[in-house]
Amino acid sequence: AQSVTQLGSHVSVSEGALVLLRCNYSSSVPPYLFWYVQYPNQGLQLLLKYTSAATLVKGINGFEAEFKKSETSFHLTKPSAHMSDAAEYFCAVSNSGGYQKVTFGIGTKLQVIP
């Protein structure tokens, strides 16, 4: 069984401040982990993914995430928030079997305050 828990359904940060969105996972096998972003009235698009090649993963728009096995975490960070980062962010976990079943978290809405 696999699952992800996103801590905080809403996060507010000031423009220029650090963005930290938390994600913890549960998986019985080595996981593949993803962060997706959804802008208003759009579908989801991939920010970054962890597939065991490196524990620190860099994605688009200055975001990065670090895989910590000991903490079963995959938190998303960005050093300096921009107004355009306001969106909903989803953490997701995939199994390592033949069929790629992906389980999504409930999402975290990021508000950026000018």
**Which conformational region is residue 8 in: left (phi greater than 0), alpha (psi within -120 to 50 degrees), or beta?**
left
Stretch that binds another protein, among 13-21, 62-70, 77-85, 103-111 (CB under 8 A): 103-111
Figure out which of the listed residues 13, 21, 23, 44 binds another protein, where binding follows CB under 8 A.
Answer: 44
**Under DSSP, is residue 67 helix (H, G, I), strand (E, B) or coil?**
strand
Contact 16, 80 (CB under 8 A): yes
Q: How far is CA 45 from the centre of its chain?
A: 11
Looking at 2, 27, 73, 94, which residue binds another protein (CB under 8 A)?
94
CA distance 17 to 29: 35
Q: What is the per-residue DSSP string for 20-55?
A: EEEEEEEESS--EEEEEEE-TTS-EEEEEEE-SS-S
- 40 near another protein, rule: CB under 8 A: no
Interface mask toward another protein for 61-80; x: CB under 8 A: --------------------
Site string for another protein, 20-39 (x = CB under 8 A): ------------x-x-----
One of 57, 63, 65, 107 touching another protein (CB under 8 A): 107
Residues binding another protein (CB under 8 A): 9, 32, 34, 41-46, 49, 51, 90, 94-102, 104-107
